[in-house]
Structures are given as structure tokens and as C-alpha cells.
Structure 1
Amino acid sequence: MEHRTEAVVPRRQHSYRAQQQDPKKKKKGWRRTIKRLSAAMLIAALGAGGWFFYTPSGKDVRYMMADTLITTQHRYLAKYLIGQEALDNRVAAYAAQFDAMADVKDNHNVSLVNHPKGTVKVEPISGKGFKGYLMYVHDPKMIRVVTTNIVGGGERVESMVKRTGAIAGVNGGAFDDPNWSGNGFKPAGIVMSGGKLLYKGNGMNAKVNVVGIDKDGLMVAGRYTPKQLLAMGVSDAVTFQPKFIVNGKGLIKSEADGWGIAPRTCMAQLKDGTIVFVVIDGRQPGYSVGATLYDVQKILLAKGAVTAANLDGGSSTVLVKDNEVVNKPSSKYGARYLPTAFLVFDHPEEVEVPNIWAGIDMNAFDSSSERQTS
């Protein structure tokens, strides 16, 4: 037994040394390994591509990614995932769906409760792949829409809060963004503050999707003309969509209809009148990727929301409390410059919001031609 053991060991050592001393054999070995790895990677890539483009589950992922792009400044990139025709159909379908959701009648099942003044609370939330905050404003009449005070440019929400002495604030409505440069001066749709109509982009008789509050503190969301809003006694409002909770029921049926994964800002009202703002961070892997509107709907229904609607999100999403930005805006340049924000005040009746857009040719801030040629 000892003789056999001694005979085996030298042969193994000799073979190992021979390989080390033969660089040609070593090189051929590495080449074979690289070829095998390359072939395996190619097969895996082809398999992944086949799954991505030719299976139902892959299609679901592609459309989720496309929906995420649709909510960004780079909507056109979605055509590389689903094709231009499918992209156009998707955008048109969402517009029709949102208008239908906006027209669902709200019975305003709210019993306003007198809460102590100044009761504003911020609560962290988290879910699968996202982190964010809920801000509770127990007295809805503390909320006002405030606009930029910079002629020709938007203003950061943090600046608006500090300038006006507000308690807190979140970003507001949609806006036109020439060349996607973040100018933030021209609102889309309408802007109302303190019962005054400050901006009406499409005139007095065109219906637009709005989110706001009336003079009694009831949340208003849906499609209305500026004339209707004034007649309804709406105090403060901006344009955005969709309305996704009505009479305590969610209108978004599944994750697939949740309009992609993105940073979110939403507004809701509870049965006792409390307004809840949802701010969810996104586009930051390792911290928070973002949420679908279906995710937000589930959060708000669990909190007892009877009405809810979407506000501008993406890189606009920001929450400011006590003069500090609470969340982590997705833009590497920090919070965005915006035309409007919902701010919270101890004495909202003392807040004066002048019409910054009066007498200005707003066509100079129209981005429609740039978007059509992108």
C-alpha cells in the first residue's frame, strides 16, 4: 500500500508542473473556457430576449417598463419596448380611462370634524421596492395653492414654504416644460387659489382634470370647466389626473393598470375631512425604486380614504416640512422648479397669492412644437 501511494503522488505533481511549464496548453485552456462562457452568455441572452419579447410574462414586464417611461419626460423611449403604434394606443387608452374615472360621481361622504389648529403630522411608509411619507393635514382649510413668484420661471417648493411662512408643502399640478429643461413657469390646465382663477390655459368652457379643495374643505377631483369650478365654490385647485378613489372604492383594478413605477405625489381625503398627501420616492435603486398608483391606492384605502387623486410626480415629487426637504427627490440636481404647490398655513386667510401670469404672453413657454419633433 505504501508503494502504490508513493507512485501516484509523483505522477500528479509531474502532470501539474508540465502544464505550468507549457504556456501553449495553458493558453488553449483559457480560450476554451472563454468560448464556453461566451456561448453560455449568448444562449442566456437569447433566452432572456425570447422571454422578454415572446411570452405573456415578458410582455407584462415590457408594458410595465413602458408605462414607467410614459410618466417621464422621455416618453418617446417607450416605443423601443412596445413599438410606436402600441405606445400611441397606450397613451390614448390611458387618457380615455382617466377621463372615465374622472366622471365617476363623488357623493362626498365626508363629515368634517373640528381638529385643533396646526395638527400636521408626517409619517414614514414603505412597501415592496419603495419608501416615502404620508402627511396628514387634519384641517383641510389650512391648505392653499401657492404659485411661483418668479416671472418667467418656476420656484422650488422649499423656497415657496420659506417665502410664505408655511408649515409644510408638496408639489402641485402639471406644467409645460419647453425642451424638458425644468423651466417650470407655465401651468397646464387651470390654477385656482383663494377662490380666484389665476390661470385657464384652454379658456372658461373647456373641461380639465383638476385636484383641489372647495371653500368648505371638501376635496374636489374630476373633470370640470373653470366656470363650473367657480360655481361649485372651489377655492384652491390645480390640474392633474387621475382620480382613483371615489366614495371609498378604488378605481384602479390591478397592478397592470397602475401607470408604471415612479416617484409619486397624491392627495386624498379621509371621512373626517383630514387631507392626506402621499409622497413616494423613486428612481433610486437600493433606496426606493418607486410605486404604481395601485400601490398608492392600497395604502390610502387601508387608511380609510374616501377620495384620492394623483398629482404631478416623477422628479417633481417633494415634501417640505419646517423649512426642510423631508424626502429624497429623484433628480440629481435636487428639487424641481415648479409653477404651483399645495402649502399648509396656520393662517391661510392671510395668504395673498398674486396672479404671476397676468399680462404675459404664455405662448413663449409652449413646448408643443419641441415635443412633436422629439
Structure 2
Amino acid sequence: MPMQSLATRYDVLRHRLADGEETTVYVVGYPRPQTSLSVEHFAAPQQLDHWCRRSGVQEAIVGGFFVRPQGPPLGELWIGGRRIETEPILDPYGGARAAISIDEGEIHIGPRAELPPRPVGHLLQAGPMLVRDGAPLRDLHDPEGFVAGVHQFDSDITSGRHPRAALGTSDDELIALVCDGRRTGIDVGLTLAELAEFMADLGARQAINLDGGGSTALVHHGHLLNRPYDAQDRPSSNSRAVATAAVFHTARAQSALSGAA
């Protein structure tokens, strides 16, 4: 018998942008508090859909950035209360860079400095913040250091339309979103501002940008939803290997896993 999905919402949308261009957006919604979240770190980067298939994971989204091609995650990472060795974000942006915190089943998205300094659960730094208290963010002053710190990793995150990935929270839902991009005249992708507007329109109260571009990946019901790209950003039948992922579980199953640990 096929395994029932955790999700209560799954949409594939052809989204028309203000200038008439279009892109394909995939949205999966998971009910709160029935769904919990955990963070996976891959010592050797993994193709997310392949890892999910081998591990029996049905629902997951790409996590934070990493130093390419095979380097460590970029930014702070905690799993099960243990800090993982990563490439730190250069000061003064480490405390400002947005993160996801999962402690005792509670999921919070916000600037790193506003989250627990020593998490007892999971913490994944990514960013920038897209939505705060229901309002899409349009700050052009680079508060999280994505422009100033771009030399740390290969990223064109702040400019232009690209494939994107995001995670948001509302009062009753976890919202996972990815979009296709870099296909002229077919799927142009989204800017960060367009992504922020989209997440707010979906009802997110808080939302964070995740690793996008060629790393974009969302697995739903065991299948990769978006169109992947290879290491040269060419359309490919195989997804790019990534360093971290956020995995969706039933809250009961996650409690059992925590107890077993």
C-alpha cells in the first residue's frame, strides 16, 4: 500500500510575473503541530532525491549553503544539540544571518542572534529572511551580508531571477516552496523580492530563503518536484549534491526518533 503523504497541500503553479514572464512554482504545505522538522547533514554532499529514496524519506527540502564543490556547510549548524564543524560566516554578519531553529518540537525562523545560543535541538543557518511577521522584506541595505560576503562562496543570490527554495511558517502550516528557473522564455525563476511576496501571499508569517540555484530541490511523496541542474547549471536528469536538508516528519515519529537517540 502506498505511504500516505504528510502534506495537506500540494500545488504546481504557472506564475506570471509583473513583466509578463512566467515560472513554475511548487508548493507543499504540512499541518502544524502534526508535522515536525529535523536537519540532516551529509558529510559527503548527496543528491537529495537519491538520499531520500535510500533512506525511506518521503518529504524533504534542500537546506543551507555550502562551500563548493565539496566543502563544508556555510554558517552555523547544530544537530541534536551538537555543533557541526562548518565554514563560519564572516563577522559582523554571523548574528544577522537568518536561521531555522527546531527545539523540543518548536520551529522558529529569524536572525541568528534572536535564536538560542546553544540549541538543544537543530539549527540551520541560511537566509536571507523573506517574510517577517507576515510582511515581505524588501531591505536593500544588505543586513545579512549577502553582498558584502559574496566572496565566501559562489553565489549570485542577491541579484536576478533564479531557481529558488524557501521555507515558511504560518499559524497552522509549514510551507515549502521551490521554483524552476534559468530557462529563457519558459521558466525564468524568481528574484528574492518576488519570492518574498509569493511566500507572504501563501500565508507565511515568517519565511527564509534556502540554497537555490542549481541546488534547488524539494522532495514530496518520495519524488523530486522541480527540474534539476548539473554542476554547470545545465538542465539535467539528476539533481545536484547538497550538504544539508530539512526533513519533514510526523510529530509522533520525530518524538520517537528523539527518544531513541
Coarse TM-score class (shorter-chain normalised): 0.7 to 0.9
| Contact 1:165/1:345 (8 A) holds in 2 | no
Cα displacement string for residues 90-137 of structure 1 (whole angstroms, at most 9, x for unaligned residues):
xxxxxxxxxxxxxxxxxxxxxxxxxxx934532112322211211112
Q: CA deviation at 1:249?
A: 1.4
Using the size of structure 1 for normalisation, the TM-score is 0.53
Alignment partner for residue 146 of structure 1, among 26, 40, 46? 40
Residue in 2 aligned with 1:338?
A: 242
More relative contact order, 1 or 2 (CA 8 Å, 6+ apart):
2
**Is 1:349 aligned with 2:255?**
yes
Higher strand share: 2
Residue in 2 aligned with 1:190?
A: 76
Residue in 2 aligned with 1:223?
A: 112
Q: Tell me the C-alpha RMSD between the 2 structures.
A: 2.9
Separation in structure 2 between the aligned mates of residue 133 and residue 280 of structure 1, nearest angstrom? 6
How many residues are paired up? 221
Letter in 2 for 1:301: A
Q: CA deviation at 1:187?
A: 0.5
**Is 1:304 aligned with 2:203?**
yes
Residue in 2 aligned with 1:18?
A: none
Higher helix share: 1
Separation in structure 1 between the aligned mates of residue 130 and residue 220 of structure 2, nearest angstrom? 26
Cα displacement string for residues 303-330 of structure 1 (whole angstroms, at most 9, x for unaligned residues):
2211111111100001112222111123
Counterparts of residues 82-93 of structure 1 (less than 5 Å): none
Query: Tell me, what secondary structure is at the counterpart of 2:201?
Result: helix
Cα displacement string for residues 271-300 of structure 1 (whole angstroms, at most 9, x for unaligned residues):
22x110110110122431101122222222
Cα displacement string for residues 187-224 of structure 1 (whole angstroms, at most 9, x for unaligned residues):
11122223332235449x96362421332423222133
Cα displacement string for residues 157-194 of structure 1 (whole angstroms, at most 9, x for unaligned residues):
112312332221111101001xxxx43x4111122223
Counterparts of residues 81-160 of structure 1 (less than 5 Å): 118-128=6-16, 129-139=22-32, 141-148=35-42, 151=43, 153-160=44-51
Separation in structure 2 between the aligned mates of residue 210 and residue 229 of structure 1, nearest angstrom? 13
Counterparts of residues 184-333 of structure 1 (less than 5 Å): 185-202=71-88, 207=95, 209-215=97-103, 216-224=105-113, 228-230=116-118, 235-252=121-138, 259-272=159-172, 274-331=173-230, 332-333=235-236
Separation in structure 2 between the aligned mates of residue 132 and residue 337 of structure 1, nearest angstrom? 21
Q: 1:309 to 1:240 in 2, by over 3 A?
A: same
Separation in structure 1 between the aligned mates of residue 79 and residue 165 of structure 2, nearest angstrom? 19
Cα displacement string for residues 244-264 of structure 1 (whole angstroms, at most 9, x for unaligned residues):
21111122169xx97321110
Letter in 2 for 1:266: A
Using the size of structure 2 for normalisation, the TM-score is 0.74
Separation in structure 1 between the aligned mates of residue 54 and residue 98 of structure 2, nearest angstrom? 26
Residue in 2 aligned with 1:163?
A: 54
Q: 1:127 to 1:193 in 2, by over 3 A?
A: same
Aligned-residue sequence identity (percent) comes to 21
> Structure 2: any 5+ residue segments left out of the alignment?
17-21, 141-156
Query: Tell me, what secondary structure is at the counterpart of 2:162?
Result: coil
Query: Tell me, what secondary structure is at the counterpart of 1:199?
Result: coil
> Structure 1: any 5+ residue segments left out of the alignment?
1-116, 353-374
